[in-house]
Amino acid sequence: MASVTSLSDSVQQHLASALSATLPEAAGADPLLRRSDRADFQANGVLALAKKAKANPRELATQVVSQVTTGGVIKEIEVSGPGFLNITITDRAITENLAARYADEDRLGVAPAPRPGTTVIDYAQPNVAKEMHVGHLRSAVIGDAVVQLLEFTGESVVRRHHIGDWGTQFGMLIQYLDEHPHELDHKESQVSGEEAMSNLDRLYKAARRLFDSDEEFKTRSRRRVVDLQAGDPHTLAVWQKFVDESKIYFFSVFEKLDMEIRDEDIVGESGYNDMLAETCRLLEESGVAVRSEGALCVFFEDVKGPDGNPVPLIVQKSDGGYGYAATDLSAIRDRVFNLKANTLLYVVDARQSLHFKMVFETARRAGWLNEDVKAHQLAFGTVLGKDGKPFKTREGETVKLVDLLDEAVDRATAVVREKAQKVGLTEPEIVENGRYVGIGAVKYADLSTSAVRDYKFDLDQMVSLNGDTSVYLQYAYARIQSILRKAGEAKPAAHPELDLAPAERALGLHLDQFGETVLDTASAYEPHKLASYLYQLASLLTTFYDQCHVLSPDNAPEVVENRLFLVDLTARTLHQGMALLGIRTPDRL
């Protein structure tokens, strides 16, 4: 279905025409339209134009008003203050616009953005043979939401999960498994993610004990690193067992997060091994990188250490080994030249910002990034405990992600169970909804905060029915479904001829902003903007409930139908918006 032009865009067009007719040199000027408490919209652009034209702003605003065509969309426009324009929309225009969105069940009138490109997004980066912890949460949750948003707006998205699957630490593990070949054998054909992680953890601890106590084993382990890097087939086969066992665990955690991670999208550090030597050669031959004390380095004038000396990006170490920079630069080459990406997006901890700044600048100097191909780090802050300090266990250890998710589901299930009898939920429904509410609570707490900011992990607040939480939004959606079930033979239907109550108008005008919000959220990579919109929508719905009874016997049939139409469109918008954030909306809670 074709895009539905928002009311703000329609008003913008009316004002632009009026500005151009009043002041021809103002053609193309921005009327600076925004939502207002004093009217439906306020335009402030006349003030700047009057200053530029050396005219009286209020007089110019009056002239602009005389050129505005009212009737279809604009009901009233008046000059306020020094030259603001206050604009009120007709009730008919609100209802007709919403009806057009309602008719588009799949996209609610939101057309894909013009001229989409290809974005490669790097997110959810766990490490092989290591437990995922709370620090992995943000990359996965933010990245998944950005993927959903970009795909909805028409972008071609390639997912990449740059897992840590390479390095010297694998020498010890490979050597131990080679000497104890049945340690990762599965007695059963299937093992759970928890069992897989238990196997890996047990093996790691045993290998570490032997490595620390047996010099001969330590020597054999170091030789294994050389064999691994040289591509020895047997060594690679043993290494692959660790990768496969880890994936069982990874997939189980992402399944708990209600998130799709596909095997073909996992391209770890090892995936770029064959490119490392050529990356170094290209950088050195072009002069982008130079040899310094045997290492291949890239220097930057604005990156200096505490002593004032330049701090380089080390691409290749003096012993010939490759650092993270070589892998990251090789990944850029692959994503630009093989995957044909226009945008490279990295959802990575803010503490790695300097590294990525240097990597991106190196790629620009090499010509791999340019005006047509850009890289951007979507940096995120730290997860904090209630005390405002980095989230740790009582023993000071990093919190395991699985433990955190399980606790969130347990807390949410208790909340759902409290209301279960009232809405007639069965035990399987309580369990399922508890999972959706718990995981949704964790995701929303993250996504409703600007990514770059730290945020406090407070499960009590996250599963609260009050305030800016996903549970509040999920209950708003479920409440609408309850109303629709109770409506009997009355069906949602738009009636543009009806006058709207203030709460209906406020809800309708906010619903009309959904498309603009989604496009703005996607283009800025800022999921918190959509979360904020959805919370405001649920809040306006609460006001609507209080002031406009939907199924009251005192209402005329067309009023009932129109209000059912408004709440049904609200439910669809909540459902679509929450889905873009990766959060489920159960029909009954």
What pLDDT, on a 0 to 100 scale, did the predictor assign at position 391?
A: 82
> 402, 403, 386, 404: which is closest to 441 by C-alpha?
404
Mean pLDDT of 309-335: 93
User: Dihedral (C-alpha) 580, 582, 585, 586: value to the nearest 10 degrees?
Assistant: 150
Q: pLDDT band for position 363 (50/70/90)?
A: very high
pLDDT range class, residue 188, cuts 50, 70, 90: low
The per-residue pLDDT for 303 is: 83
Structure confidence at residue 254 (pLDDT): 97
Pair of tokens at residue 151: 């795909």
Residue located via tokens 């054999």? 220
Report pLDDT for 189: 67
CB count, 10 Å around CB of 499?
A: 8
* Sign for the pseudo-dihedral over CA of 108, 113, 114, 120: negative
140 vs 413: CA distance, rounded Å: 23
Of 16-30, 211-225, 321-335, the range with the lowest mean pLDDT is 16-30
Instruction: Tell me the mean pLDDT in the region 263-270.
Output: 96
Residue 156: its pLDDT value, please?
96
Of all residues in the chain, what percent are helix, strand and coil, respectively (each to 5)? 55, 10, 35
How far is residue 426's CA from residue 423's CA, in Å, rounded to a whole number? 9
Task: Name the burial class of residue 423, with classes exposed (0-12), middle (13-18) and buried (19+) by CB atoms within 10 angstroms of its CB.
Answer: middle
Q: What is the pLDDT of residues 372-382, one digit of tens each?
A: 999 999 999 99
Contact 316, 295 (CB under 8 A): yes
Tell me which residue of 398, 337, 408, 351 sits closest to 379, measured CA to CA.
351
> What are the CA-CA distances from residue 112 to residues 146, 167, 523 (Å)?
15, 42, 12
pLDDT tens digits for 433-469? Answer: 999 999 999 999 999 999 999 988 888 888 888 889 9
What's the DSSP call for residue 164? B
DSSP state letter for 337: I
Residue-level pLDDT at 388? 86
Q: What is the dihedral of CA 324, 328, 334, 340, to 10 degrees?
A: 170
Check residue 465 and give its pLDDT: 83
Calpha distance 49→23 (Å, rounded): 9
Q: What is the tens place of the pLDDT at every residue in 531-583?
A: 999 999 999 999 999 999 999 999 999 999 999 999 999 999 999 999 999 99
Answer whether residue 520 shows pLDDT above 90: yes
The mean pLDDT of 230-255, rounded to a whole number, is 95
Give 82's pLDDT tier (boundaries 50, 70, 90): very high
pLDDT for 424 beyond 70: yes
Task: Assign 116 a pLDDT band (cuts: 50, 70, 90).
Answer: confident
Q: Tell me the C-alpha distance between 281 and 131, whole Å.
A: 36
Beta-carbon contacts of 427 under 8 Å, excluding residues fewer than 6 positions away, are: none
